[in-house]
Amino acid sequence: MVRRIRFLRVFIVFFASLILNTTLVPPVHAAPKTLGCFDEKRFCFTLVKSASVPNYYKVTAKRHLALPLALTLYSDVLFTQSPQSHSAVKAPAGKQSPFSLSTGLAQSLVKLNKTSHANAFLDSNKPILLGYTKNPDAFWRSMRVKWTVGSINAKHDNNTRYSSPLQPVGAYPIVQGFNGSFSHTGASRYALDFAAPIGTPVLAARGGVVVDIKSDSNQGGDTPEYAKYANYVVILHNDGTTGEYYHLKYQGVVVARGQPVQKGQLIGYTGSTGFSSLPHLHFGIYLARYHGGYQSVPFKLEED
């Protein structure tokens, strides 16, 4: 009987300890996501707890492919240093300002709304600070990003002459030139469309480094909604501009990102993918802009 009582006491203590431990041990929460990469890890965003701004995470961007790009980050839970001083944000009488954080730096942080943004030009392998956020999960849910490969500081060398990307010269007529009414308007107004049978070799009109490619599409049509289906090659030139070759055929790219190319080198084959009403090559010279934008510039071919 004594042994049973002792066993019962031990069991009660053991069972009570299980209940106590279950009650007192806090639940384990998953660590917040701190890394997000885009475009086959061309660049990544990182969130790291800030040492200077308590309870906030630093939001940085860093390229992981040694090629320049201009990006714009959008988020409604991002704070960033602003020219607007803390004194310009007044709280109601008797209440603490919503921006009165624990440090001078934190006091100058202003929350961006949904239409606000932070720009970054990634031209080195160093991370760039974009701002701060308090809630990583909310940041990843709300964030959007747009980017354009190329240099934001590019200045086109107007003395440059480009070779025709289709050879021999004269065999492939230009069916739409600068300011063409069909699709060469706005940011794309300075471009040339060469009519060519599908599978015609496309040559680099100027040497440089391949910064972007797409070759997995087999869709095309004569309305703008097909634009996203275009296959292409983008080459970065030494003045920061890019040469862009569009509407290539399915699996019609023969170069890779990061590959140096020489003027006249084979880079792909013509097609009719994307916003295209007939088999042709679209060729233009562009400057990178923020918000995923670009601007075409006038250029001349060697044969002009």
Q: How far apart are CA 162 and CA 207, in angstroms?
A: 10
Q: Can you list the domains of the chain with their CATH numbers?
A: 35-149 (2.60.40), 161-301 (2.70.70.10)
Phi, psi values for residue 53, rounded to 5°: -125, 95
* 170-176 long-range contacts, CB within 8 A, separation 24+: 172/196, 172/200, 172/281, 175/278, 175/280
Q: What is the separation of C-alpha 284 from the centre of its chain, rounded to a whole number of angstroms?
A: 21
Alpha-carbon separation of residue 272 from 93, 221, 267 (angstroms)? 66, 8, 16
* pLDDT per residue of the chain (304 residues) written in tens, 0 to 9: 434 444 334 344 444 444 445 455 555 567 788 999 999 899 999 999 998 888 899 999 999 999 999 999 999 899 886 544 333 333 344 444 343 444 556 656 655 545 578 999 999 999 999 999 999 999 999 999 999 999 999 999 888 999 999 999 889 998 887 867 676 777 788 999 999 999 999 999 999 999 999 999 999 998 989 989 999 999 999 999 999 999 999 999 999 999 999 999 999 999 999 999 899 999 999 999 999 999 999 999 996 5
